[in-house]
Amino acid sequence: MNIENDSVEKNAAEEKAVENIIGDEPPSQEKAGFFRWLKGLLPAFMTGSSSDKGGDDMLKESLEEVIDELENDQSSFGEEERSIITNTLAFRNKRVDDIMVPRTDIIAVDASASFEEVMDVFIKGTTSRLPVYRETLDEVIAMVHIKDAFRELVLIKEASNAPDFNSTALRSIQRPILFVPPSMKLFDLLTKMQATHIHMAVVVDEYGGTDGLLTIEDLVEQIVGDIEDEHDEAEEELLRELPGGDLVADARLSIEALEGLLGLDLLPDDQDDDVDTLGGLLFTISGYIPEVGEVIKDKNGLNYEILAGDARSIKTVLIKRQDLTQSLIKDMEKNAGLSDDKPKQTVQ
Domains of the chain (ranges, CATH numbers): 3-93 (no CATH), 98-224 (3.10.580.10), 239-327 (3.30.465.10)
Q: Which of 124, 166, 185, 172 is nearest to 145 (CA)?
A: 172
The pLDDT of residue 17: 43
The pLDDT of residue 184: 93
The pLDDT of residue 136: 92
pLDDT digits (tens, 9 = 90+) for 231-251: 454 445 788 888 888 899 999
Question: C-alpha dihedral over 63, 69, 75, 76, to 10 degrees?
Answer: -10
pTM for the complete prediction? 0.61
Range of weakest confidence among 13-22, 155-164, 304-313: 13-22
Nearest 5°: phi and psi at 341? -75, -15
Spatial contact of 314 and 251, defined as CB atoms under 8 Å apart: yes
* CA pair distance 123, 118, nearest whole angstrom: 9
The pLDDT of residue 166: 59
Is the pLDDT at 125 greater than 60? The verdict is yes
Q: Which of 290, 227, 243 is nearest to 84 (CA)?
A: 227
Q: What is the mean pLDDT of the chain?
A: 75
Provide the β-strand partners of residue 201.
Answer: 178, 214
pLDDT digits (tens, 9 = 90+) for 166-175: 555 678 889 9
